Amino acid sequence: MAGEPRHIVMLPFMAQGHLIPFLSLARSLIFHHPSLTITLATTPINARNLHSSLSDDHIDSCIHIATLPYSSCDHSLPAGAENTDSVPKHDLVRFYHSGESLRPHFAALLSDLETPPHCIIADAFVAWTVDLARSIGACHAVFTTCGAYGTAAYFSFWLHLPHTKTPSPEFHIPGFPDDFVIHRSQLSSYARVADDRDPWTAFFRRQISFCLRSDVMLCNTAEEVETTGMDLLRKITGLPVHAIGPLLQLKEGRKIGKSAGRVVEWLAGKQAGSVVYVSFGTQNSISRTQMIALARGLEESGKPFVWVLRPPLGFDVNEEFRPEWLPVGFEERMRREGRGMLVMEMAPQLEILSHEATGAFVSHCGWNSVLESLNSGVPIIAWPLAAEQFYNAKMVVEELKVGVEMVRGEEEVEGSEVARVIGELVGGGEKRREMREKAGWCARKMKEAMEGNAVDEFWAVFERRDRASHEERVVL
């Protein structure tokens, strides 16, 4: 039994913020348990992208990418829409529901595998895999790629819809302490109108119900950083929950593209802690008026900055940059003064955040971005836009005290307010010093978690369950 080769099958949800942590988890598991083989299943376009991310080292050679048939047109979605970053906002709920169409193909994959899986690790958004795991006698683990605090709040909100129980603009989340209060402005547009009969509620409640039947939950976080969140997640789910993070993609000596290299070279000429990094992730954006206000605030602040620009809301995500999205002459002034760098493509976020010149991160508070910022000891200027980002921002500001919230969602903001907040975190005041100290503590604790063997707790549970299952088969 001990020498028996082990096989794990993984199924992430079709989004970059989910695929990347799954690949990192696969690598982490194999690093600590080299005899493992992992099959990571996804749809054709995502499979091709994952293949291109694999190297020829031992760890990646133990990861096999399996392709599951999927046609976006079968779900009235644009052709080739296999990832949330290629799906229009109004089609997202249809895309989320379409994930269950993978069920028969995933079942066929399991039956065709030469080595049956000992464990299935599935995304919380495809937790329907629990029934398939049961049918083949495999252990089932649900992996939440979000943090513990945000996942706990998200689960409780969708299970109870507490905002429908009161006309007040503020309400409590069941299972959380009484002083944990959410304002309606901290909800996504689709969550604000959720009423028990809408398609978003139907999706989340169905997947959460599957999650709660899993054997174990894995969370991409560090226990010591998210002590409160982990306690809440265990209480709300009733599951064994293991922190197996932070799962980050940074590799020593990895090559970066020419455009990314220019960003790092530009940062090298700036003073330590002086640069503001601005990015809203791969599938989020702000409105045109917010974009103009942000540009004015950055200019008024007088601080150097790197800004990853995406088309504003209402424009095609693949559209070429338009000068009218920014104040007249802004791009030229920043280039001439050497004070601002506008990036129109993917940026090397980990390299930017880990650079000594970076002093603050204007972020949508997607969990991967929060992890990367905290791991680098960089305070966050929170601008949450959707999903659990509002809860992540609340944790960053109120629980960890490593950031400030500047604006929520589609609220309007003045350039002067942007400049004021930037001045607080990138200036030389006491608030900046305190937040950098707290962010530095988070960085140390996360590095300790990465240097330790965070996956071993889960592995021990997996081993015990697998051994018990094996003994039961022998008796029968």
> Could you tell me if residue 286 is inside a domain?
yes
Q: Measuring CA to CA, which residue among 144, 9, 24, 108 is closest to residue 64?
A: 9
Contacts of 429 (CB under 8 A, 6+ apart): none
Q: In a 3-state reduction of DSSP, which class is residue 452? A: coil
Q: Are both 343 and 377 inside the same structural domain? A: yes
Preceding amide of 44 cis, omega within 30: no
Based on the residue annotation, tell me whether 123 is a catalytic residue of this protein. yes
CA 68 – CA 79 distance, rounded (Å) = 16
Question: pLDDT per residue over 50-85, tens digit each?
Answer: 999 898 888 899 999 999 999 999 999 999 999 998
> Could you tell me if residue 140 is inside a domain?
yes
CA 244 – CA 89 distance, rounded (Å) = 31
> Could you tell me if residue 290 is inside a domain?
yes
Q: Are both 163 and 23 inside the same structural domain? A: yes
Q: Are both 275 and 204 inside the same structural domain? A: no
Q: Are both 95 and 136 inside the same structural domain? A: yes
Q: Are both 138 and 47 inside the same structural domain? A: yes
Beta bridge partners of 242: 218
Q: Are both 417 and 466 inside the same structural domain? A: no
> Could you tell me if residue 191 is inside a domain?
yes
What letter would DSSP give residue 294? H
Q: Are both 37 and 142 inside the same structural domain? A: yes
- Count of the separate structural domains present in the chain: 2
User: Which residue in the block uniquely carries the two structure tokens 């949330």?
Assistant: 84
Contacts of 63 (CB under 8 A, 6+ apart): 23, 26, 27, 30, 38, 40, 54
> Could you tell me if residue 253 is inside a domain?
no
CA 190 – CA 383 distance, rounded (Å) = 18
Question: pLDDT per residue over 40-52, tens digit each?
Answer: 999 999 999 999 9
Q: Are both 381 and 419 inside the same structural domain? A: yes
CA 242 – CA 228 distance, rounded (Å) = 14
Per-residue pLDDT 10s for the chain (476 aa) are: 344 668 999 999 999 999 999 999 999 999 888 889 999 999 999 999 999 989 888 889 999 999 999 999 999 999 999 999 888 888 999 999 999 999 999 999 999 999 899 999 999 999 999 999 999 999 999 999 999 999 999 999 999 999 999 999 999 999 999 888 999 999 999 999 999 999 999 999 999 999 999 999 999 999 999 999 999 999 999 999 999 989 886 444 444 555 568 898 999 999 999 999 999 987 788 999 999 999 999 999 999 999 999 889 888 777 888 888 999 999 999 999 989 999 988 888 999 999 999 999 999 999 999 999 999 999 999 999 988 999 999 999 999 999 999 999 889 999 999 999 999 888 777 888 899 999 999 999 998 888 766 666 677 766 666 555 545 543 44
CATH number of the domain within which 437 lies: 3.40.50.2000
Q: Are both 188 and 325 inside the same structural domain? A: no
Contact, 145 vs 220, CB < 8 A? yes
Q: What's the CA angle centered on 246, arms 25 and 137, to 5 degrees? A: 35
CA 292 – CA 286 distance, rounded (Å) = 10
Q: Are both 269 and 406 inside the same structural domain? A: yes
Q: For residue 221, what are the domain limits?
A: 7-245+454-475
> Could you tell me if residue 277 is inside a domain?
yes
> Could you tell me if residue 227 is inside a domain?
yes
Contact, 381 vs 427, CB < 8 A? no
Which tokens belong to 396? 């960053």
> Could you tell me if residue 325 is inside a domain?
yes
Q: Are both 218 and 308 inside the same structural domain? A: no
Q: Annotated catalytic residue: which of 7, 118, 123, 466?
A: 123
**Cα torsion for 27, 22, 358, 286, to the nearest 10°?**
160
CA 58 – CA 446 distance, rounded (Å) = 25
**Cα torsion for 103, 104, 110, 113, to the nearest 10°?**
-140
Based on the residue annotation, tell me whether 18 is a catalytic residue of this protein. yes
Q: Are both 137 and 286 inside the same structural domain? A: no
CA 326 to chain centre: 28
Relative to beta strand 216-219, strand 7-11 is unpaired
Q: Annotated catalytic residue: which of 18, 172, 355, 364?
A: 18
Preceding amide of 116 cis, omega within 30: no
Element holding 39 (H helix, E strand) = strand 37-42
